[in-house]
Amino acid sequence: MKKALESTGTDWEALERVYGWVHQLAHVLGEEGVPTEERQLRFLLILMHMQEQVGQLDPRWQQAIAQFLKVTHSYAPHLFFCYQIADLPRTNNGLEQSFGSVRRSERRATGRRGAVPGLVVHGAVRVQAALATRVKTFSADDLVPHDRAPLGVPFVRKSLLVKRTAASNCVFARILPLI
């Protein structure tokens, strides 16, 4: 057994140390009932500890940890949104499942087999509405806008006009090609 472990050439102590750091990070991200600010602070402290201790490792491990820190730093501003917004899925798989259920519901409601064109033009609003209704049932009074100023209605209308214009230009370009 000892000869087999020596032949692999793996530094098991370094592997155990690095695995410990990753496990600590996963534990911080998985804790329940911790305020977001405290979670971010704990996460950053572990990353700082990793950065301080990386010099004691083999150069291969140093490169791996440097890459891990670089990627984590690039994603850092967006890592903790799921903890700030209630019921937001924590993983991309969870988000994709939510979007998939909205697409499936739209297809069933319209009877279409493929993508619903309304999701392309009004997708941002329809997806949010569909996901919100899964969390809470709204009454008619809840849906009446009391103050339209914060909704940004002119901006939404302008963006819809731009999308409709682009879509109509594509249709006409296919029907009447330029000669």
Q: What is the pLDDT of residues 129-156, one digit of tens each?
A: 777 777 677 777 776 766 666 555 566 6
Ordered DSSP codes for 73-92: HHHGGGTTHHHHSTT--SSH
Tokens of 179: 């000669």
Q: State the Cα–Cα distance between residues 26 and 72, nearest whole angstrom.
A: 13
Copy the structure tokens of residue 88.
């937001």
Answer whether 0.75 is exceeded by the pTM.
no
d(CA 166, CA 42): 47
Cα–Cα dist 39/26, whole Å: 11
Q: How confident is the model at residue 87 (pLDDT cuts 50, 70, 90)?
A: confident
Helix (H) or strand (E) holding 37: helix 36-53
Burial 19-51, CB ≥16 within 10 A → b, else e: eebeebbeebbeeeeeeeeebbebbeebbeebe
Confidence of residue 43 (pLDDT cuts 50, 70, 90): very high
